[in-house]
Amino acid sequence: MKVSNKAWAMSGFSNEHAHLDKGVLVPGVSYEDAPAPVRGEWTRGLKAQFTKEDIYARAEQALLNMLSYGTTYVRTHVDVDPLVGLKGIEAILELKQNYAKDIIIDITAFNQEGFERFPETEHLLAEALKMGRVGIGGHTLTDPDGVKHIQRVFDLAEKFDAPWIEFHTDESGKPEHFLLPNIAEETKQRGLRGKVYAIHCNSLANVSDEQAKAAIEQVVEAGLHVIVCPTAIATRAITRTKELLKSGVRITLGSDNMGDLFNPLGSGNMLNYAQMLTYIQRFYEPNEMQFILEMITQKPLDDQASVALEQLSVQVVYETDRIHELLAHAPKPLAILPQPER
């Protein structure tokens, strides 16, 4: 809806990958740079101390940041394991209900720690999938056997009819951790086209061109979706975004961590992340900038979330209608207003 010669209103931005339950740990906890496994161990120590109230308060702060920058849809992973139990799911479900008039929140029950480290996680994930419209998420690096991890997540998803499945995919960026083709194959064999998301896909950037081409063909054939998190550039290469786009893969962006021991920053401003990817991979041509904007304005694929977003009672007004200005300056919205009566 156009509101002036320079400004226009829309339903806002989509953030398709976040970690609200671990948001805003920093500056409350001092950040110290260290290898990822070390920071993972520190995070496990903190998770064991989380309360539902603590998770809710920090997640709300992160969510308010997103709202102030015009986000109206977020899909967040929520850790489920014996350290934190189901407290995170409970807190984010409550947050979802309390902010339903401002933003649509989808929840993915996430196996961050692996099945082998905490075997009880399988039961907890099953319980989480019974608590509402909750998807399931895995991580291809958290168990020694990544292929088996992928299969177990798919098994749970099918058993409990999870509405979507997501994987932190090949996050190390190392060619030896390249399991994107396995996810694509499982998706195809199980007939789950359109329901599976691969997040990061960093190793795709570092395998040979021949391997990458074959994998992208598998992704297309399986109907797999890819979520890029540009902040990953801090420690590893970003995936082959342009090649995936040219092949017709649906690509969206996520904030990933916001103010935790993996990223002490994280504004929640989707234009910041879009700007970052624009710089990193030189999306400078007008049509490429349009692609970038589409990555952060695509409607969610889940039917319930899409309908809810259409009915959302807010509109976000930006002071410019030029994509170049949005990506160059990453401005805050001019206003966030109630939807006009229909």
Which tokens is 154 given? 């798919």
pLDDT at 5 over 70: no
11-39 mean pLDDT: 90
Cβ contacts of 28 within 8 Å, gap of 6 or more: none
CATH fold of 8-338, please?
A: TIM Barrel (3.20.20)
Share of the chain above pLDDT 90, in %: 80
CB 305 within 8 A of CB 104: yes
Do 167 and 139 contact (CB within 8 A), yes or no?
yes
Maximal CA-CA distance, the chain: 58
Q: β-pairing, 225-228 with 314-318?
A: unpaired
- Closest alpha carbon to 167 in 112, 238, 222, 107: 112
- Rounded Cα distance between 21 and 60, Å, is 9
Q: Do residues 335 and 37 touch, judged by C-beta distance below 8 A? A: no
Confidence label for 114 from pLDDT (cuts 50, 70 and 90)? very high
pLDDT for 341 equals 60
Could you give the C-alpha distances from 146 to 39, 166, 215, 243, in angstroms and in order?
Answer: 21, 14, 17, 25
Region 52-72 average pLDDT: 96
The C-alpha atoms of residue 109 and residue 121 are separated, in whole angstroms, by 10
Q: Which residue has the higher pLDDT, 321 or 174?
A: 174
Amino acid present at 53:
E
By mean pLDDT, which of 27-31, 231-235, 320-324 is the weakest?
Answer: 27-31
For 225-272, the pLDDT digits (tens) are: 999 999 999 889 999 999 999 999 999 999 999 998 888 888 999 999
- The answer, yes or no, to whether the previous bond of 331 is cis (omega within 30 of 0) is no
Instruction: Determine the Cα–Cα distance for residues 294 and 253; give it in Å rounded to an integer.
Output: 10
Domain residue ranges of the chain, discontinuous segments joined by +: 8-338
Dist. CA 83–CA 43, nearest whole Å: 10
Angle between helices 87-98 and 52-68 (to 10 degrees): 40
Buried b (16+ CB within 10 A) or exposed e, 62-92: bbebbbebbbbbbbbbbbbbebbbbbbbbbb
The pLDDT, as a whole number, for residue 104 is 96
The per-residue pLDDT of the chain, averaged, comes to 94
User: Does the pLDDT value for residue 1 go beyond 70?
Assistant: no
